[in-house]
Amino acid sequence: MNKVTTIDLGSNSFRVLIYDCLNNQIIDEYNEVVGMADGLNETKAISKEAQERVINAINQSSIQLGYEPSKAVCVTTAAMRIASNNSEVLKTFEKRTGAKFNIIDGKEEARLTLLAVKYALKREKINSSKFVLLDIGGGSTEIIVNDGDSYFSHSFNFGIVTLTQKYLKYEDLIKELNSHKVDIRAFIDELKIDLKDYTFVATAGTPTTIAAIKLGQDFFHYDKELVNGTVLNLKDLEDSLDIFRNSSKDIITKLVGSGRVEFIEIGIYIYRAIFEVLEKNESIVLDDGLREGVAINHCILK
């Protein structure tokens, strides 16, 4: 069978995909929160505990999905890019699991994510050649402006994990987000485009979680086929914030999943900030992201 297995090891999430190249379809998948960027702000290194979580996730997913880690196409992003012990950590992963990871830079991450989103928009029959894509990660936030066959991207050095672990006070967080908004606005202004012509598309855990909540789903009853193409507005973000501020940890865990509880509010603040910079009223949500892009790219090159 003409299939490929891809692993996307992010700053917080570990995601595996088994993909059918002939039919451009997902065969199976595995998702787990591994918190690889945990403590990275202070130590600048991937901790031993985080390494063990990743190794366990690789081994567990390979048993569950029946794939061989040494044959998977494995990429890793922001946390590994900045970790001082990245080469040592990747050697450990390969030695203990067989999985050989490639650290990709922000440009390649943007290209591959965009590839997945273009396929997804076509699949969902959403006609949009001009769109701004937001991908909120654990350690970085990618903004990609797509204009037909050309695109411009920038990887901004902040994400849900790094911001959560950096700030205890809401005021300090908002102050930093405001400074990032200035940088993002400068990136957009350089392109000399009229944002009114561009659809706002968002991928990654925060947008899909809010979309799922809007649809009445929770982490354990998540249907990405329904989530794909969902339109969110600022009120949906505020409604989700209200739920998280006024619910018990057990209820929030049921909604967002273990390992995401402490990060989800920060994710919404980042999402809201991008709404404000782009001066948009709504955003289309897609579940597809980097791991799908890695798979599609591999299929194209085969």
CB 207 within 8 A of CB 232: yes
Whole-model pTM over 0.75: yes
Report pLDDT digits (tens) over 180-219: 999 999 999 999 999 999 999 999 889 999 999 999 998 8
Under the banding of pLDDT at 50, 70 and 90, the label for residue 228 is very high
Is residue 151 predicted with pLDDT exceeding 80? yes
Residue with tokens 């392109």: 191
Mean pLDDT in residue range 165-186: 90
CA distance 17 to 293: 10
Cα-flanking dihedrals φ and ψ of residue 150, to 5°? -115, 160
Token pair listed for 205: 């855990």
- CA distance to 52, 80, 232, 270, 275, per residue, from 175 (Å): 35, 26, 25, 12, 17
**C-alpha to C-alpha distances, 215 to 106, 219, 224, 240, 257, nearest whole angstrom:** 32, 12, 11, 12, 16
Considering only residues 128 and 8, tell me which one the structure prediction assigns the higher pLDDT. Answer: 8
CA dihedral 255, 258, 259, 261 (to 10 degrees): 30
Task: Quick: pLDDT tens for 255-265.
Answer: 988 777 888 89
More reliable by pLDDT, 75 or 42: 75
Order of all β-strands in the sheet with 199-203: 150-156, 141-147, 130-136, 199-203, 282-285, 231-233
The pLDDT, as a whole number, for residue 121 is 94
Q: How far apart are CA 36 and CA 59, in angstroms?
A: 16
What percent of the residues of the chain are helix, what percent strand, and what percent coil, each to the nearest 5? Answer: 50, 20, 25
Return the pLDDT at 260: 79
Both tokens of residue 239? 């409604």
Helical ranges in 103-169 per DSSP H: 106-123, 160-166
Position 1 scores a pLDDT of: 59
pLDDT at 85 over 80: yes
* Beta pairing, strands 282-285 & 231-233: antiparallel
* Average pLDDT score over residue span 19-42: 90
Nearest to 170 by CA among 82, 268, 83: 268
- The DSSP 8-state label assigned to residue 258 in this structure reads T
